[in-house]
Amino acid sequence: MIITDNSDYSNIPFTYEDTITINVLVLEKKNNPSLTAITFNTHTTSALDEVHLQLGEDGLYNLIHIIVPNYDWYIRNKKLGTLSKYK
């Protein structure tokens, strides 16, 4: 996906510690994808986060890795009035 217009996306900066990660692991079975695991990581240190998952069987897996600002970032920016675009 190529984004050519940033008007619908946040341009408010955040640091690693201001984010959380959601990882979704899906086993791609023929005609029947299977949700295998969901993990949630807070970024409370400056080190990169690690996730260890038990894989129940061999196969092709898709990992969806989502990084979003955390609740504290949201509250801080709401108080500053920088989220008015998203109301």
* pLDDT at res. 2: 47
69 — phi, psi (to 5°)?
Answer: -60, 150
**pTM above the 0.85 mark?**
no
Alpha carbons 6 and 11: distance in angstroms, whole number:
8
Chain segment 23-81, per-residue pLDDT in tens: 999 999 888 899 889 998 888 766 667 778 888 888 999 999 898 899 998 898 888 88
Strand partners, 68: 20
What kind and span of H or E run contains 61?
strand 61-69
